[in-house]
Amino acid sequence: MTYSNLLFASVILPISVLAAMFDRSAEYKNLILCVTSLLFVIWGKAFAAAAIFLSVIVDFVLAIAAEGSLKRSKQSAAVFMVIDFLFNAGLFVWLTHNELFASDSSLHLRSALIPVGVGFYTLKNFSYVYDVYSGRIKAERNIFCLLTYGMSYPFLLAGPVVRYGDVEPQIRKRGTDLSKISSGLSSFALGFAKVTLVVPVLTKLANAGLDPKEPTLIGAWAGMIAFFGAAYFSFAGLSDMGAGCARMNGFDCEVNYRPITAKHMVGGLVNSYNTSMAGFFRDICGKGGAAFLLTAVFGLIGAGFYAQSKFAMAMGAVIALLLMIENLLSYEAIEKIPTVLKVPVLFVIAMLTFSAFAFGSFGEWKSWLGCLMGRGTLYQLSKAVKYIIINNCWLLLIALISVTPIGRGINGALTAYGEKSPKAYGRVRTLKTLLTALLLIVTFIIAAAETAGA
C-alpha cells in the first residue's frame, strides 16, 4: 500500500489521527500508530509486515550488543554494525525481489516507488545502529519505542532518513492539536495531488514522447523533460504526504527534498531528491564519498527496478564521477560561476546522463539523442504527444510554475501579506484552507474514478 491508496487516505489515516486524540499519553498514541501502521503494511503482503517486525527486533538486539562492545573496543562494536548493515541490505534485496512489487521496465514510475521506499526504510534502520556505534545516541532499551520508530507509516515510504536521536524525544512525549492536523493535512493534500494528478500525466507524456515506434523531434524533448518531472513529482509528492502524516500524528520531521537549483550543479540536483539520505552518507564517509554512495544506491535501484540495464548502471557511475569532481573542485568555486552559465550546462548534463534511466540499452539512448537533433524523425510532433499536452495544458502549466521561482514567489508574497495584520493572516488562512479542501476533493474524485476504471 502507498500513501496515495484510497483505502489509506480515506480510512486508515483518519482513524489513526482521530483515535490518537482520545488520550494525551505518548504510549497510547504510539500504540494506535503501530496498529494502523501494521494494517498499512499487511495490506500489501503479510510476510512484509513480519519482515519489518523482525528487522526492528534485529536492530534492537544488535544496537545493544554494539553499545556493550564499545566498552571493550571500537573494532568489536564495528562487527555488530557491519552485521546490521548486511542484514538490512539482505532485507532490501529480499523484499524487492520476492514478487512484492511490480518490476516492469517501462516508463511507469510506480514500479520503482516502493523499492525506493524499502531503500529508505532499511537505511533508516541501519542509521540507528550506526548512530549507536558512532556514539551519537544510546541504545534504546524500550522495544515499544523502537517499534514506533521502525514501523510508523509516516517514515516507511518516502523518507526522510529519520535519525532515532532526532525523533526519540517525540516518541516519548508529543501532542496533536488542530494546528498540526491542519498543517499536516495541507502537506498531505499537496503531495496527494502531485502523485495522483501530475505524475500520471507526465508519465503518459514521457511514454508517448519517447515511444521508439513514433520518434519525433518535439516528442524527444518533451518526453524526457516529462520523465524528469514525473520522477521529481513522485518523490516530492510521497515526501509531502509522509511529512503530512507525521505532523498529523504529532511528529515534526524534515522534508526529504528541496527545490531544484543550479547552485550546486549536479550535486544540488541529486541532493534535491534525497536531502536526508545525502546528509546521512555525508556523516559516514564525507562529501566525496557521500556523492558516490548516494549515486550508486539510486543507480542500482533505478537500473534494477526501472531501466533494468547495465547501461543505466554505467551511466550512474558517470554521474558519481561528476559528483566526485565537483567535490574536488569545491562548491565554493562552482558558486562563483554565473547562474546564466550554470543552468544550461546543468540542463545538458542532466539530459545526457540521467536520461539513461529511461532506456534499456545504449542503442535506445543513442536513437533518442538522434531524435533530439531531428535525426531519424519523420515529423516534429506526434498526435499522441499533442493530445496529451492540449488536454492537460493547465495542469502542466501549474506543475511547471510550482517548481520555478514563480511558485516560491507567490507563496512568499502570501506569507508576507499574512504577517501585516491579524485580519490579513485570517484571509490567507481562509484562502489556503479553501484551496486545500478543493485540492483534496478533486484528487479524491479523480483517484476514485481511476480505481473504478482499473
Considering the chain, what percentage of its residues have pLDDT values greater than 90?
9
* CA distance readout (Å), 347 to 71, 221, 261, 316, 398: 51, 12, 11, 17, 21
User: Cβ(107)–Cβ(203) under 8 Å?
Assistant: yes
Residue 351: how many other CB atoms lie within 10 Å:
16
pLDDT (0 to 100) of residue 61: 94
* CA distance readout (Å), 374 to 215, 369, 371: 9, 9, 5
What CA–CA distance (Å, rounded) separates 281 from 289?
A: 7
pLDDT digits (tens, 9 = 90+) for 7-38: 888 888 888 888 888 877 888 888 888 888 88
pLDDT (0 to 100) of residue 57: 92
User: Cβ(164)–Cβ(149) under 8 Å?
Assistant: yes
Q: Find the farthest-apart pair of alpha carbons in the chain and give their distance in angstroms, rounded.
A: 72
Cα–chain center distance at 63: 27
What CA–CA distance (Å, rounded) separates 309 from 358?
A: 10
pLDDT (0 to 100) of residue 344: 84
Among left, alpha and beta (phi > 0; psi -120 to 50; other), residue 307 is: alpha
Q: Whole-prediction pTM value?
A: 0.80
pLDDT (0 to 100) of residue 310: 67
pLDDT digits (tens, 9 = 90+) for 58-106: 999 999 999 999 888 888 888 999 999 888 888 877 766 654 444 433 3
Amino acid symbol at 243: A
Query: What length does the chain have?
Result: 454
The three-class DSSP label of residue 402 is: helix
What CA–CA distance (Å, rounded) separates 322 from 354?
A: 12
pLDDT (0 to 100) of residue 437: 87
Q: Which residues of the chain have pLDDT under 70?
A: 1, 44-46, 48, 95-119, 157-160, 255-262, 270-279, 281-282, 285-310, 312-313, 316, 330-331, 453-454
